[in-house]
Amino acid sequence: MRPAAIALCFIAMCGVSKAQKVKFVAAEKADVVQHAREVPASDEGRVSRIKELFAAAGCTGSHLYEQAVEGGSAPNIVCELNGENDESVIVGAHYDRASSAGRPLDNWSGASLLPELYQCLRSQKRHHNYIFVAFADRGDELAGARFFAGHLTPAALRQTEAMINLDALGLSPTKVWTSHSDKELVQALVVMVYALKLPASQIEMEASGSTDSDPFALRQIPQITIHSLTQHGVQGDITSTFKPNNYYDTYRLLCGYLAYLDLTLKPRPHSE
């Protein structure tokens, strides 16, 4: 066994005890896949649909709101799941209409999964607050993510422990942009990959340009980007088709991962 494989096995074994305590309630595969496949044609339609999905998942009232994005025609959609502590985890994905006709689901498959992740976590009391954000980006511009990260208050910035970025899901088994992600967040994902016995691998995305985790990294928030692009897909060489089984596996892995982070994330040290 190669040293890297030994290290991954060691990390997984160290996290087994807490991984066994992870609890979440996964939705039915048919529902999760259907929501991803029903892609509104316009950004306005996506705003309405995301809000409908959040409301159906139980996120209503003051916990669900729009954040106007300066200079943009569409808002960020924010859903908050309150926990027992002050610390927060941000889970984000952009919903803008894809510029590439070859991958029409890229900018919807992540955003439409946010309400499903909210629902799978809300079945148990959580220590952390979870903030789910559907970003109103504009093509290659990270307008929504930049605005959200840039307008975090000093208190919110101190209390944000991690940002989980979802991008282009359901095109292959789960991938992680390792070199662009926080080491400890990657290690936690490895633990849940082993615990849930679900496939995942490393594919770097430098060739694809910027991603919504970048504005959070600039504000010193630990972040991770989870996606499903193959190496050919990153380079734009191959048109990928949506794969329901892979998509549902990623959903289940993310449910477990977010619940695991709730048990393991510690407050970050801050300089006064």
The pLDDT of residue 105: 64
Torsion of CA 108, 110, 116, 122, to 10 degrees: -140
Burial (0-12, 13-18, 19+ Cβ within 10 Å), 72:
middle
Calculate ∠ Cα 38-39-42, nearest 5°.
145
Contacts of 261 (CB under 8 A, 6+ apart): 89, 128, 161, 162, 185, 188
The pLDDT of residue 239: 57
The pLDDT of residue 148: 98
Name the residue among 161, 167, 176 with its Cα closest to residue 131. 161
15-47 pLDDT, tens digit each: 556 777 888 999 999 999 999 999 998 899 999
The pLDDT of residue 17: 63
The pLDDT of residue 13: 47
Low-confidence ranges of the chain (pLDDT < 50): 1-13, 237, 271-272
> Model pTM?
0.91
192-214 pLDDT, tens digit each: 999 999 999 998 876 566 889 99
The pLDDT of residue 4: 42
Domains of the chain (ranges; CATH) run: 45-264 (3.40.630.10)
Burial (0-12, 13-18, 19+ Cβ within 10 Å), 189:
buried
The pLDDT of residue 1: 34
Name the residue among 260, 264, 159, 157 with its Cα closest to residue 218. 157
